[in-house]
Amino acid sequence: MHVKCLLTVFVLMFGCLPGKSFAQPPVEDPEIKIGREAHEEMVKSGMKLLSDPVLVGRVNAIGARLAAVANKTVIPATYGTENRTPYTYRFHVVDDKDVNAFALPGGWLYVNKGLLDYVQSDDELAGVLSHEVIHAAHHHILKLQKEQDKLNTQLAIGAIAAILAKVPATDTGNLVTGLQLVALQKVNGYSQQAERDADGAGFELTRLAGFNPVGALTFMERLARDQRNRPEVDLGIFRTHPPEKQRVAALKGKLDASAITINRRQTTNQLRVSVILAKNQSVVYDLQLDGRVLLSSIDKAYLEQIASTLDKALDAPTELFDVTRTASSVLIRGKIICTIRSSDVKLGQNPETVAEKARDAIRAALFKVSLDGNL
């Protein structure tokens, strides 16, 4: 009996009998467990995940490149911790029209269908996904949870102290409300720190994974522009994200520091050149730049040749003063883009007038791009 008791104690303490080995169930990483349980709860609560192979495949392909780098590379953290924990990152597409993405601890990441419709390139999507990967890789939510626990403890101590000091009930209520607001302000401050770290480290992750980090900038610029067109709401201490204007400025600073040229055309639908059939026409084609007609002709091959030349010229950063006209020719940085032919001129016009209108249309498109990037 005495021997059996000793063996029982040994098993309870060490999980096996002397001389024998028993397989122990693997211990699930605490953050992965939190993420998994939250994911299961959200699905039970009605969150609908899409299974469209095109949408899911695109997100998974970009996400896999980012995850591979995050799992093998230590990216410096300004918030949370940069202790590298290799995760099996799981990317999901949510059936929601809002432009949003979010991350749960342990590598559970979500992208709304609305955001996939909003981004204009894989580089922009990579910028968003890298931001969310960093939230998981730098253990932001665990850090925020710890900070929240500290503040809850402080709040309780403050309330107890007020009661012990025999503060009137009304004043105690006001004090608790005040403490709650201070706690909220602190938590939101921590949250903004997490967002700044996700922006900064996400920039590095995007670059290391081979994507163009300008995509993060153009996405944020467009988001800021669209929000600017809505009624302004002063969130004050309730703001959990830094203002988009600050985030744009920070991204521009990182691009400058990395000597990366900001060419928004590479990551957006801006300054797109096309040759399409003219409206209500069967044989006339339009050469367009962002929907602006530069030149019309029945000679589609001629317009396509001009389109190719213009396309290459715009691949380099182009300013308004780079676009000029000499007689019936339009030039960019002194190189002829097109020369207007008499056969392409409508009755009552001349080649010089058509060339001037084409030049002005190119400048107008460039000006629109400059406005979008001027926050």
Tens of pLDDT, residues 58-73: 999 999 999 999 999 9
Give the end of a domain, one of 252, 269, 286.
Answer: 269
- Shared domain for 88 and 140, answered yes or no, is yes
pLDDT at 201 over 50: yes
Evaluate whether residue 11 is within a structural domain.
no
Q: Where are the alpha helices (DSSP H) in 105-243?
A: 113-118, 122-137, 140-164, 169-208, 214-228
* Angle at the Cα of 223 from the Cα atoms of 42 and 108, rounded to 5 degrees: 25
- Shared domain for 221 and 366, answered yes or no, is no
Q: What pLDDT does 161 receive? A: 47
pLDDT at 169 over 60: no
Q: What pLDDT does 369 receive? A: 83
Q: What pLDDT does 232 receive? A: 54
Query: Which residue is listed with tokens 């299961």?
Result: 40
Span 223-269, pLDDT tens digits? 888 876 665 555 444 445 667 788 999 999 999 999 998 888 899 99
The backbone torsions φ and ψ at residue 91, rounded to the nearest 5 degrees and listed phi first, read -105, 130
Q: How confident is the model at residue 166 (pLDDT cuts 50, 70, 90)?
A: very low
- Identify whether the C-beta of residue 209 lies closer than 8 Å to the C-beta of residue 69: yes
- Shared domain for 90 and 46, answered yes or no, is yes
Candidates 113, 172, 145; CA nearest to 38 is 145
Q: How confident is the model at residue 374 (pLDDT cuts 50, 70, 90)?
A: low
- Shared domain for 261 and 278, answered yes or no, is no
Split into its structural domains, the chain has a count of 2
Span 265-314, pLDDT tens digits? 899 998 999 999 998 878 899 999 999 999 999 999 999 999 999 999 99
| Structural domain span for residue 170 | 28-269
Q: How confident is the model at residue 211 (pLDDT cuts 50, 70, 90)?
A: very high
Span 316-335, pLDDT tens digits? 889 999 999 999 999 999 99
- Shared domain for 279 and 342, answered yes or no, is yes
Q: What pLDDT does 168 receive? A: 52
Q: What distance lies between CA 127 and its chain's CA centroid?
A: 4
Evaluate whether residue 85 is within a structural domain.
yes
pLDDT at 345 over 60: yes
pLDDT at 180 over 60: no
Long-range contacts of 54-60 (CB under 8 A, 24+ apart): 55/93, 55/113, 55/116, 56/91, 56/93, 58/116, 58/122, 58/125, 59/91, 59/93, 59/111, 59/116, 59/125, 59/129, 60/91
Q: What pLDDT does 70 receive? A: 96
The per-residue b/e assignment along 185-198, b for 16 or more CB within 10 angstroms, e otherwise, is ebbbebbbbbbbbb
Mean pLDDT, the chain, rounded, equals 82
Q: How confident is the model at residue 124 (pLDDT cuts 50, 70, 90)?
A: very high
Evaluate whether residue 20 is within a structural domain.
no
Give the end of a domain, one of 238, 253, 269.
Answer: 269
pLDDT at 8 over 70: no
Candidates 152, 126, 28; CA nearest to 70 is 126
- Shared domain for 341 and 259, answered yes or no, is no
- Shared domain for 199 and 301, answered yes or no, is no
Evaluate whether residue 2 is within a structural domain.
no
Span 138-148, pLDDT tens digits? 998 888 777 77
- Shared domain for 64 and 133, answered yes or no, is yes
Q: What pLDDT does 4 receive? A: 42
- What is the Cα–Cα distance from 308 to 290, expressed in whole angstroms? 15
Evaluate whether residue 12 is within a structural domain.
no
Query: What whole-number percentage of the chain has pLDDT above 70?
Result: 76
- Taking each continuous run of H as one helix and of E as one strand, the counts in the chain are 11, 9
Give the end of a domain, one of 242, 269, 296.
Answer: 269
Give the 3-state secondary structure of residue 101: strand
- What is the Cα–Cα distance from 37 to 246, expressed in whole angstroms? 35
pLDDT at 197 over 90: yes
Q: What distance lies between CA 44 and its chain's CA centroid?
A: 27
**211-222 mean pLDDT:** 94
Evaluate whether residue 3 is within a structural domain.
no
Torsion of CA 115, 119, 124, 130, to 10 degrees: 10
- Shared domain for 189 and 312, answered yes or no, is no
Q: How confident is the model at residue 353 (pLDDT cuts 50, 70, 90)?
A: very high
**43-72 mean pLDDT:** 96
- Shared domain for 63 and 141, answered yes or no, is yes
- Identify whether the C-beta of residue 375 lies closer than 8 Å to the C-beta of residue 222: no
**142-169 mean pLDDT:** 57
Q: What pLDDT does 24 receive? A: 54
Q: What pLDDT does 206 receive? A: 97
- Shared domain for 254 and 279, answered yes or no, is no
- What is the Cα–Cα distance from 171 to 313, expressed in whole angstroms? 70
Evaluate whether residue 15 is within a structural domain.
no
- What is the Cα–Cα distance from 365 to 362, expressed in whole angstroms? 5
pLDDT at 78 over 70: yes
- Shared domain for 288 and 365, answered yes or no, is yes
Candidates 362, 361, 288, 359; CA nearest to 325 is 359
Evaluate whether residue 22 is within a structural domain.
no
